[in-house]
Amino acid sequence: MPPVPDSRTGKGAQTPPHPWRPTRRGLEDAALAALAPVCAAVLALGGLAVWTASGGAGSPARVAVADARLYLPAPGAAETAAFFRVTNTGGAPDTLVEVTSSAVGPGIALSRHRMTEGNAAYREPAESLPVPAGGTLDMSPLSSDVTVPVPDAARWRTGDLVPFVLRFADGEPVGTLAVVVRPGARE
């Protein structure tokens, strides 16, 4: 680049700074311009970390199964019903998607109880049953149940324990033992 005369004195020549060589002032301006978004990002990440550590970001579903009952089937009945109390103490909902039993075999199904306009009850198959975050899925003859086919070899008596495994959409499978009770009994 050719020398440029000094505009103040008209004498001599001054070489302007190279366009690719940063000046101190240019570096200071760039640092200040970058400082604002960096500070904002650090504050945002710090806030998110505190929010998450305090539980504000939620927690996964934590499911427990209790009060498992299997109705004693009537003589010659092809199926009976099982009921479970599924409690979710976590911060996220989960969904009961399947129930199995090594003592029963295939054919176990989830169902909901519905009423017709004439107040007659009927069972409706369900693909899944919701377990709300911080809530309970409390199965009963008036809400939902698990339809259990009665195996030919079953000789269940009141007080017997029948193993079940409940599988959830997001959580781990939960095993439990259901006590055989007479229909209408709560314990």
Q: How many CB atoms lie within 10 A of CB 140?
A: 13
Over residues 3-17, the pLDDT tens digits come to: 656 566 656 555 666
CATH number of this structure's domain 63-181: 2.60.40.1890
Q: Name the average pLDDT for the chain.
A: 85
Question: Three-class SS string for 56-111?
Answer: CCCCCCCEEEEEEEEECCCCCCCEEEEEEEEEECCCCCEEEEEEECCCCCCCCEEE
Mean pLDDT score, 95-102: 97
Over residues 113-144, the pLDDT tens digits come to: 888 888 888 889 999 999 999 999 999 998 99
Q: Are the C-beta atoms of residues 73 and 103 closer than 8 Å to each other?
A: no
Q: Are the C-beta atoms of residues 96 and 110 closer than 8 Å to each other?
A: yes
55 pLDDT more than 60: no
What is residue 174's predicted lDDT score, i.e. its pLDDT? 97
What is residue 36's predicted lDDT score, i.e. its pLDDT? 77
Domain residue extents for the chain: 4-53, 63-181
Q: Whole-angstrom Cα distance, residue 28 to residue 18?
A: 18
pTM given for the model: 0.69
What is the percentage of the chain residues whose pLDDT exceeds 70? Answer: 83
